[in-house]
Amino acid sequence: MAKRKRGNKTGAGDQPTKRSKSDAAPTVPKLDLAALDKSPFPEKPTTESRKREAQIYELLGSADSQERIAAADALITGLLDSEEVVLGRHLEKRLFRGLASSRNASRLGFSLVLTEILGQLFGPPKNLANSKYSGLDFDKVLGMLTENTQAGFNIPGQEERDFCFGQLFGLQCFVESRILFGDQDSTRWPAVLDMLLQLANKKVWMRSQCAWVIVESLPHMGQERAAETVKKLVDIGLGKTAEGAGIWIKAASCYPQMKLPTKPWSNPLAPKALPDLVNVLKESVKQDDGKDAPVVKGQSSWNPQLHFVWDLILAHFIEQNKPASFKLFWNAVVDDGLFSKNASEAQKFRGFMIFQKFLQGFATAKIVLAKDFFSRNLSKCLVNQAKTEDRYLHRAALKSLKTIETTVETEPTLLIPVLRELLALAYDFDHLTNTKTVEKLLQFVTPDNVKTILNMLREPVSKMTDASIVEHRRFVYTEYVLKMGMQAKLDDSNESSVLELAISELATRAYSKSDEFIPDLSDKTREIFRAKLSSAFARIAKRREEYRYLCDAVLALDPTAVQMSEEIEAERKAALKALKKLLKSAKKSGGGEADSSLGLSLLYAISILQLYDGDPDAISTLQDLKQCSEKLQEADAEASAFLVEILLSLVSRPSGLMRQVTQQVFETFTGQLSADALERLTDPLVAEENIKGQQALFDAEDEDMEDVVGSDESENDEEEDEVSEIGSDVEFVTLNGAEPMEEDDDSNDEAEDNDAEAQELADLDDALAKVLNSHRLDQDNAAESSDESDMSDSDMMALDEKLVEVFKQRAKGSSKKKEKKDAKGTVINFKHRILDFLDIYVKKEALNPLAFNLLLPLLQLIRTTQTKPLANKATEIISNFSKAFKKARSNMEESAVSIETQLGLLQQIHDEASKDAAHAFARAASAASLLVASSLYAADKESVDDVAQLYAELQAKWTKGLLPAKMQASFFFDWVNWSVSHASNAYGPV
């Protein structure tokens, strides 16, 4: 049965229309709050007046504060200009009743209106209840509140809660209107107080809120009424509660001369009363917000407010500013109370919150009491809870540590005392708690306190008797010093001394002996200091303006921990002398010359450190630097080529510091590089990525090299191209949408490795079978039976020799295999470092005609390498060159390139492009070709004829199939797009 076609819901001939976003949600015109009607309300409401009331009361409960204020203004003005019956009706039927509503911000809006109206009715100067509204006396209005906020029987819990809070808000309106005290009727406050106390006794969870209203009233009631209020609290049994303690403390603060009752205590914060106060405040934790346990991992966050008594206690101790008194309170109430062994998790959680509040409060008041805050039980709990994530109070502990960081940031004077306490808890505090608290605090070190903090960090590790923790503690010390120096605010010249002192400390401990450390620093520890120093230097080397810190640290070194021969000592002195001379020259000169001098200074400094480290190549490097300096001073044409050779020798070493330093030095000399220097830079790119390539680049020699090379010539080339591991500092750059060069050789090489390993194991089995005259278990059927007999001692020795020879041959084969793999990795890593240099050069020297000489070697590398990351990186360099040239060309007045030279280069690029059919290679070749075409166009627009002819000739050969490889059509499409773009610029918009 066929489905019935559903008809259109629209009428016949109607076309359904698509609704726009504006149609889907019609905008509501914004209400003009200033236009709200403020006229008096009529005694007999009309339809229009009811609409007006509804609108105003709706706005009065709005969550928008501006709408609430505007509605309150209109309502107050209208009601106080209305008749008494109208005002009474609104008070009874609307305002007091509305306090029990939980809709949006109704209680806030209604309280705002009530507070103002009550003040106008019963307070000076107007006192309208005596003049205009005589029928609305105080008792009647208070009765309206009681009647409209009285919870009935058998109502839901939420409704009962709303009524209770409505009455509380109403009573607070009476307090805030300032009509209960002064010359007014003395019965007003007792009536309100009785209602507050009845509400507090009726619902325990309302007690703290009711008590807070009383606290707010104390400053306005006078000493006599305050004494009566406190006495009444004692009489009904609320004196020995957290609320009673808070009211007691506030009353004593407002009226120091007031005589307070002696029971339950004369002063809750007196030393004699502290034991009772501990129990009272611990008990109050169970009442806080009706909660009795902190949030556990996985639940939604919970951040309840502390009981108001803690704010009053904090204010008291800030005002008194008596450290001894505070310490006594803190240890008794917080440390031994909330953090005792028997304390519940909820009490400890509140303890962390109190710690955070008091730490921030005292910091804001500029009172330093850090030592007292980090009390014994609290500190132990803080460390234990922060240590692992599965601890119940882990998040609370982390928040406390975060509070320490933010507090020190806002009040830097706390850094030293706080840091001293954390280190006293555990010198390796960050390791113990799995946080970065100390590390983050060290970023706030300033030149004013850096020496004090450095001594504080050094003191616990300088003289140590426990040999089991010496090395670990001193390792932590190196991390602290490094973090302190690296986090210094280098943008501010006034902060430089922090970095200088950190660098000096690392360098001194790495190479100098000192009586400060007992026992003396071990070689292992000095190596750690040297590693941290290298990390610091690598950071400094990124910023040319910080080179001096490194050089000054090297000059200030006294290498007493380094043994040097007379020859090495002579080289050291000569190098230091040259370093001082270069720094002096850099200071006098400016511009590029100063940068060059600083660059050489940096190389000298690094080479001197290598000399101290015992690097065998350090002396030759220093000698080369000396020759290079002389050539540069003499403006020798070979100086730049000589410098490139030095940089290549340094960058070939597996060191992140060397990589960073050589790049920075190279950048200072890019403008001085000659064609010969660039050629020496690109020559290694064509080296084979195997042992032969390594030998050609580094003159590698070992006893088995001849055998290895001989075997390489007879082996298949695929075996030479085994997968290598590139150093961890090599960047992996992908081609933008490019396809693989041909195919990924990784899977082939891995398969070959597995096959070769399987064959080696099979050969080993055969060799062992021949020596032992045995066979594998799976060859029982094919094996010949043999007589087993005991072997003599001589036979056993002969057998041992044969077994040793078998395993020796296997080890030798494995060693050669690893050697080939390492050789390939070394060559690839070296090429990556060269590409880093070339990337820097094309970005800085995009308009330099010599830069175009790099295009052909880069294309040859892309085409010949079997390592994909190298090809990707070279492709990206060509792309960066194009972007840099386009950007620099906009500011170029005239081009310095030679038309004839560029056309010859373009022809060579076309020849190279025709040798490979890979998509990725075609894109790189096209980018290089168009870059040269752009340089020709910028130099002379007429040269486009020659460029077009070269493209046409290449396209003709491509069409006829006369090229070595089938080129990608995209190469020619790119040329057409380039032409269209330039034509559009030439003709302008149509």
Residue with tokens 């040999």: 467
Q: How confident is the model at residue 764 (pLDDT cuts 50, 70, 90)?
A: low
The better pLDDT of the pair 88, 283 is held by: 88
Q: How confident is the model at residue 303 (pLDDT cuts 50, 70, 90)?
A: very low
What residues pair up with 463 in beta bridges, in sequence order? Answer: 518
Q: Is the pLDDT of residue 95 over 90?
A: yes
Residues in the chain: 990
Residue 916 has a pLDDT of 93
Q: How confident is the model at residue 832 (pLDDT cuts 50, 70, 90)?
A: very high
Q: Is the pLDDT of residue 863 over 90?
A: yes
Q: Contact at 8 Å (CB) between 500 and 552?
A: yes
Q: Contact at 8 Å (CB) between 550 and 540?
A: yes
Residue 704 has a pLDDT of 35
Q: Is the pLDDT of residue 74 over 80?
A: yes
Whether the bond into 26 is cis, omega within 30 of 0? no
Residue 101 has a pLDDT of 87
Residue 494 has a pLDDT of 47
Q: Is the pLDDT of residue 290 over 70?
A: no
Residue 131 has a pLDDT of 87
The pLDDT of 549-561, averaged and rounded, is 87
The pLDDT of 619-641, averaged and rounded, is 88
Tell me the per-residue pLDDT of 256-269, one tens digit each, with 9 for 90 and over.
988 888 888 888 99
Q: How confident is the model at residue 703 (pLDDT cuts 50, 70, 90)?
A: very low
Q: How confident is the model at residue 637 (pLDDT cuts 50, 70, 90)?
A: confident
Q: Is the pLDDT of residue 1 over 50?
A: no
Q: For residues 730 and 870, what is the distance between their CA atoms, to the nearest angstrom?
A: 10
Most confident of 21-35, 139-153, 772-786: 139-153
The pLDDT of 979-986, averaged and rounded, is 87
φ, ψ for residue 447 (rounded to 5)? -60, -25
Q: How confident is the model at residue 712 (pLDDT cuts 50, 70, 90)?
A: very low
The pLDDT of 718-730, averaged and rounded, is 34
Residue 120 has a pLDDT of 93
Find how far residue 505's CA is from the centre of its chain. Answer: 27
Cα 541 to Cα 1, 41, 484, 585, distances in angstroms: 82, 78, 17, 19
Residue 726 has a pLDDT of 31
The better pLDDT of the pair 728, 980 is held by: 980
| CATH class of the region 47-253 | mainly alpha
Alpha helices in 203-260 (DSSP H): 207-235, 242-254
Residue 756 has a pLDDT of 55
Residue 963 has a pLDDT of 92
**DSSP label at residue 304:** P
Lowest mean pLDDT among 45-54, 592-601, 760-769, 860-869: 760-769
Q: Is the pLDDT of residue 969 over 50?
A: yes
Residue 588 has a pLDDT of 78
Q: Is the pLDDT of residue 314 over 70?
A: yes
Most confident of 701-705, 822-826, 945-949: 945-949
Residue 535 has a pLDDT of 87
Q: What is the mean pLDDT of the chain?
A: 83
Q: How confident is the model at residue 757 (pLDDT cuts 50, 70, 90)?
A: low
Residue 770 has a pLDDT of 62
User: Which residues of the chain form CATH 1.25.10?
Assistant: 47-253
Q: For residues 806 and 800, what is the distance between their CA atoms, to the nearest angstrom?
A: 10
**DSSP label at residue 463:** B
Residue 285 has a pLDDT of 59
Q: How confident is the model at residue 36 (pLDDT cuts 50, 70, 90)?
A: confident
Q: For residues 651 and 647, what is the distance between their CA atoms, to the nearest angstrom?
A: 6
Q: Contact at 8 Å (CB) between 332 and 379?
A: no
Residue 725 has a pLDDT of 32
Residue 830 has a pLDDT of 92
The pLDDT of 630-638, averaged and rounded, is 84
